[in-house]
Amino acid sequence: MKLGIMQPYFFPYFQQFRHISQCDQWVLFDTVQYSRKTWVNRNRILDRKIQWSYVGASVAKGATQYPIADAVLGNDPWRERLLHHLRVYQHEAPYFTKVTALVEEVLKKPARTIGDLNFNCLTAVCTFLGIKTSLTRLSEMHLDLPRQADPGMWAFHISRAMGASEYSNASGGRFLFNEAFYQSNGITLSFYEPVNLQYLTGTFDFVPDLSVIDTLMWLSNTELQLRL
């Protein structure tokens, strides 16, 4: 079984879904402490005036004291703000209506915490893209894991507890891992390499690595499947 692990991000970029599609199981590492102004609660979309701008979810005051799984969402109208910002695509993006409906569907699902919201987001987009990988939240798995571990060892402990034969990490984290140690313990270590995903964006300048929302706005289902 090939396993991938990542913190649950807010509508992450398309490369992450491509990585997910190459794994058999994907664990959302939502037991780490929540930090503000990270990809956990915000991401980027196109902006006519300044190329791109942030959109995201509001998280309640004091949330940084808790893990992602328990960081409660804010009560301000952040959902309405998000949908308003998506109107930048309305007159040019060919799939504006379909993608806005997808985002609205995610926002309507019950979600008390940012962990809940991002799980809903990731599962909805995976379904939209036809990705069959099983997604699970570490906070709900009750695995026998150490209370503390070095950054490169969490994946080992989770992989071993789940019986994974291969662990796949984003290539940017290669320096964290001791490949020989994994190999000697029966786990193959591999790294996802990003590919060029440039596409046409109407009269907007193309900006790489925006939220998956941007990619879905511009590409058809056929084009999306070819890029997975």
Check: CB of residue 37 under 8 Å from CB of residue 7.
no
pLDDT of residue 46: 98
pLDDT of residue 151: 85
Mean confidence (pLDDT) of the chain: 97
> In the structure encoding, which two tokens stand for residue 60, read together?
């309640």
Report whether pLDDT(87) > 90.
yes
Report whether pLDDT(147) > 90.
no
Single pTM value for the model = 0.95
Give one DSSP letter per residue of 24-72, joined into a string: SEEEE-TTSBP-SSSTTTEEEEEETTTEEEEEE--B-TTGGGSBGGG-B
pLDDT tens, position by position, 15-55: 999 999 999 999 999 999 999 999 999 999 999 999 999 99
Report whether pLDDT(175) > 90.
yes
Measure Cα distances from 121 to 10, 70, 126 in Å.
7, 17, 9
Report whether pLDDT(124) > 90.
yes
Q: What is the mean predicted confidence (pLDDT) over 104-127?
A: 98
pLDDT of residue 148: 87
pLDDT of residue 184: 97
C-alpha–C-alpha distance, residues 131 and 98, integer Å: 18
Q: Strands, E, within 36-171: which ranges?
A: 42-47, 51-56, 134-137, 166-170
Sign of the Cα torsion 6, 228, 197, 199 reads negative
Domain that holds residue 26: 2-226
> In the structure encoding, which two tokens stand for residue 91, read together?
């007159």
Domains in the chain, number: 1
Residues 6+ apart with CB under 8 A from 76: 58
For residue 93, give the nearest of 79, 103, 80 by alpha carbon: 103
C-alpha–C-alpha distance, residues 122 and 119, integer Å: 5
Sign of the Cα torsion 59, 122, 28, 139 reads positive
pLDDT tens, position by position, 204-228: 999 999 999 999 999 999 999 999 9
Check: CB of residue 156 under 8 Å from CB of residue 179.
no
